[in-house]
A and B are shown apart, each in its own frame.
Chain A
Amino acid sequence: MIANTDELRSAYKNVWVIAEVKGSKVQKVTYELLGAARSLADTKKAELWCVVLGHGIESEGQSLIHGGADVALLVDDPRLKDFIDEDQAAVLVRLIDSYKPEIVVCGATTKGRALIPRVAVISNCGLTADCTGLAIDPENGDLLQTRPAFGGNIMATIRCSNHRPQMATVRPRVMNALEPDMNRKGRIIRENLLDSEEAKLKKVIEVFHDTESSVNLADARFIISGGRGMKGPDGFKLLKSLADRVGGAVGASRAAVDSGWIPYSHQVGQTGQTVQAKVYMACGISGQIQHLVGMQSCDYIIAIDKNPDTPMMQLADVALVGDLYEIIPEIIKELSKT
């Protein structure tokens, strides 16, 4: 809502985290957000609420309190089991309207990035996408939201002074979860889905979770990516065996995906996924800017290439000059030594 005076703004209190739910379990990104939002709430001397929409989520309330929430607001209904954006948005809009949080954050996941824009439009408030930094402006208490734009080429700081709540989606794996505190106390509030909120415009008829860890780049600690220098699809089997050895995932550059060597779900970069692994190993990837923006915030970057002068070889922490088809089997061999 428009809140362009101090009086209107003062009606909005507390910080909300909207939980990411898979099945009946709250996902890791929610705990990361609780970690970040805890300090926002403390700065504002406000409460931290975690809102969970789903089915069979009752037992999650205590864990969220242990993870930093003062209040767990649960809406447990079989009709919220599947991801039906319209219905979930309708519930959130009503809850926001009745409880008036000042700040609402949600993981910048595919669900968060579908749901929250819908809520922001209906609730008539501003929304900043895919933030990597959140802070409270010491002067006026506004939320300062920092995000990469233009494929990571600039960092923009955004505020939303005249609307409440202030909303942001936050990139997974950027914020740090708190150590669970089993002695933390909090309240659990339960709300219902109203029949009028069930729009009956969408029905989820199939859900598929890929258990193959090699595709889940989002959660991978160690990513081994191949590019044009792989010269064909077979090399990706080699990358996969190294990935299996280190418990990692296989990524790819756009060149490799467009050549049909590996599916799009593996693509890292501007038109693929942005990853934030501990280790990123780029094999035969020259390092075009569109690829770099998707992986340059990984902690430790390894490049393997015959050409020592590529942008990736310059950017890397470690650059191995040579033929990846010869080096990778040796790495696998070396790793099996203790």
Chain B
Amino acid sequence: MKIVVCIKQVPGTNDAKIDPETKRIIREGIKAITNPFDAYALEEGVRIKEKLGGEVIAISMGPPRADAVLREAISVGADRGILLSDRPFGGSDTWATSYALAKAIEKIGGVDLVICGKQAIDGDTAQVGPGIAAQLGWPQATFVMALTEIGSDYFLAKRMHEDGYDIARVSLPAVITVVKDINQPRVPTLKGRLAAQKVDIPVWTAEFIGADLHKIGLDGSPTRVVKTNPPPSRHTNTMKIEGTPAECAAKLVHELRIRSLV
């Protein structure tokens, strides 16, 4: 089984600050991390490989320093990493990003399964996974909680919905996006970490993957961000309730009742 796992490098949110002038997220000097959901995607890919044999290839699109997330992937079981990094990719929205990743997946060739995290924690769109499936013309299974069975040309995916789940039998090749339920990612060993530092991460350009320049970057992106604002702030005057548990409870229930909330 040839598996591609898509990984995004995102800013660690604890440090997220908005530039008061530009109203954009300050990314400089912020610790960059592997998108948390992508760790589950990678773990699932590695588990399938361990069971069925094959290869796990981690790919990422981003600036040169995004090779760090690919090294991290290799340290926990990916066989190799490929970084899509080229100026023409800059400014890509989800349409253009899914196109570029799909072109890279075609370039890799012979891929059976693409696994993505359900969404990235910076954009929060959840659009790139199904976007890649559409670009490739492959079926998809999104918000997957478990792969209950996998064969050479199909799998059974338990898909999470708001009020339950369904189980779908999906033909390979396919794209899946996974939620946290699916597994518990392993921690890299020191040996794995050291080995990953020495691995060569090839950098693929737009030209190398044969991308149409009108379909990538800002030019290839149908959407434009016209402005960013801080979210409306909560104006709260916190009412502090202290006293015995019974007194606290009585005051709270009173507050709820006068607001018709219970």
Contact = CB atoms under 8 A, between A and B. Distances in A.
Interface of A: 22, 82-86, 89, 109-111, 113-115, 117-122, 124-130, 144, 148-163, 199, 201-210, 215-216, 218-219, 222, 246, 263-265, 267, 270-271, 278-279, 288-290, 296, 300-302, 308, 313-323, 326-327, 329-331, 333-335
Nearest to A87: B139
Given A111-B161, A122-B134, A334 B253 contact: yes
Nearest to A246: B262
B60 interface: no
Contacts of B232: 155
A163 B96 CA distance: 14
B248 A201 contact: no
A295 to B, nearest CB: 11
Given A121-B135, A154-B228, A201-B174, 13 more contacts: A83-B166, A118-B140, A150-B124, A157-B227, A163-B222, A203-B168, A204-B166, A205-B168, A215-B163, A279-B261, A289-B13, A321-B248, A331-B253
B121 interface: yes
B126 A320 contact: no
Closest 3 CB pairs of A and B: A126-B222, A330-B249, A121-B134
A122 to B, nearest CB: 5
Interface string B223-248: 11111111110101011111001101
Majority SS of interface residues in chain A? mixed
A317 B236 contact: yes
B134 A117 contact: yes
Contact of A331 (B23, B140, B252): B252
Given A110-B161, A156-B228, A313 B238 contact: yes
Contacts of B71: none
A12 to B, nearest CB: 14
B25 A150 contact: yes
A154 B99 CA distance: 26
Contacts of B122: 149-150
Contacts of A159: 223-224, 226
Contact of A156 (B128, B130, B162, B227): B227
A289 B14 contact: yes
Given A117-B130, A331-B253, A126 B225 contact: no
Contacts of A319: 238-241
B169 A203 contact: yes
B229 A271 contact: no
A126 B221 CA distance: 7
Contacts of A149: 122-124, 228
B92 to A, nearest CB: 12
A202 B230 contact: no
A110 B139 CA distance: 16
A121 B174 CA distance: 16
20 contacts: A85-B139, A113-B127, A113-B142, A118-B133, A124-B95, A124-B222, A129-B94, A151-B16, A153-B18, A155-B230, A159-B223, A163-B222, A202-B171, A246-B262, A264-B180, A265-B160, A301-B236, A314-B238, A329-B245, A331-B253
Given A109-B162, A154-B228, A289-B14, A206 B167 contact: yes
A206 B163 CA distance: 14
B262 A335 contact: yes
A84 B157 CA distance: 12
Contacts of A279: 256, 261
Contact of B142 (A89, A110, A129): A110
A209 B164 contact: yes
B194 interface: no
B113 interface: no
Nearest to A125: B222
B222 A264 contact: no
A333 B165 contact: no
B245 A208 contact: no
Nearest to A114: B142
B124 A327 contact: no
B156 interface: yes
Contact of B241 (A300, A314, A320): A320
B98 interface: yes
A126 B223 contact: yes
Contacts of A208: 164-166
Nearest to A321: B242
B113 to A, nearest CB: 14
A154 B18 contact: yes
Given A150-B25, A207-B166, A160 B161 contact: no
Contacts of B240: 308, 319, 321
A327 B164 contact: no
